[in-house]
A and B are shown apart, each in its own frame.
Chain A
Amino acid sequence: MVTLNSYLTLSAVLFSIGAVGVFTQRNALIMYMCIELMLNAVNLTFIAFSRYLNDLGGHVFVFMIMTVAAAEAAVGLAIIMALFRNKETVNVDEINLSKG
């Protein structure tokens, strides 16, 4: 019997892995992928609660999160491309334009 708890714990594990990835990776592209992983973990929580409460509102929220993730990926990758064109790198340690 799979309980709500199992899904929430799995979601927590995935979210934490994504958070660790954002902190450890220095490649901007892989950092973006880790952020996508975190968004996906949250989606799993929404779906699990939606099933538990027998309410379809959670599915609509997941729909919105997917929209935002797609928009974020498009704009974020465009920013990375613009950065790469100027600095010839995607390593975030070498991108320090705002540093005083």
Chain B
Amino acid sequence: MQLLMFYILGFGAVLSALLLVTSKKPVNAAMSLIATMFCLAGLYVLLDAHLVAVLQILVYAGAVMVLFLFVIMLLNIQEKEGRLAGSTIALQFVSILGVGMVFVIAASLVKVRGALPTGGELFPFGTTKAVGSMLFTEYLLPFEIASMLLLAAIVGAVILAKRRISDAKP
């Protein structure tokens, strides 16, 4: 059952990722990426990472992708904008490079024989309580730094996206 789910979700993730890199319109690309993220959330559930799976859907598929779609619709990009890299030779070269990359990583993994532990853990794995207590004790400083990073991102995004006062005047 777990194997079947892994294959369904993994196949779905790879398929929608391929749709993402070959899409010509930003909206189609965004929809493919959302599909990939849902498949990955399912894989996280298979790995007992329940909190991360919910965060994946809330933060990525929810917040980040809505931001993407919002910008796509705000910019109203014309059809001619969406195209792949110019020459077909460059496309083929990059594709071969990508396949080679997969093979190099897969070859380095041949000796990995990791059977994942299933069920019967000593403590509840990957629940909000377990991850939360870890975040607020052992990793408290990185957690606070992350909040500072988000604050800096908010300020930066507002400053970058706002119009200059001189531009606003007619």
Tell me whether chain B's interface is mostly helix, strand or loop, or mixed.
Answer: helix
B134 touches A20 (CB 8 A): no
Tell me whether chain A's interface is mostly helix, strand or loop, or mixed.
Answer: helix
Q: Hey, what's the 0/1 contact readout for A10-28 against B, CB within 8 Å counting as 1? A: 1011111111110111110
Q: Which residues of A contact B49 (CB under 8 A)?
A: 47, 50-51, 59, 62
Q: Which residues of A contact B105 (CB under 8 A)?
A: 8-9, 12, 15-16
Known: A26-B84, A27-B26. A36 touches B14 (CB 8 A): no
B59 in complex: contacting residue of A6, A48, A50, A66, CB < 8 Å:
A66
- B interface residues, tally (CB under 8 Å): 85
Known: A2-B3, A60-B142. A54 touches B125 (CB 8 A): yes
- A-B contacts besides A50-B49, A69-B60, 20 pairs, CB < 8 Å: A7-B43, A9-B106, A10-B13, A14-B36, A18-B17, A19-B101, A20-B21, A24-B90, A29-B71, A29-B72, A57-B134, A59-B134, A63-B146, A68-B149, A73-B64, A74-B156, A77-B157, A81-B160, A85-B163, A93-B86
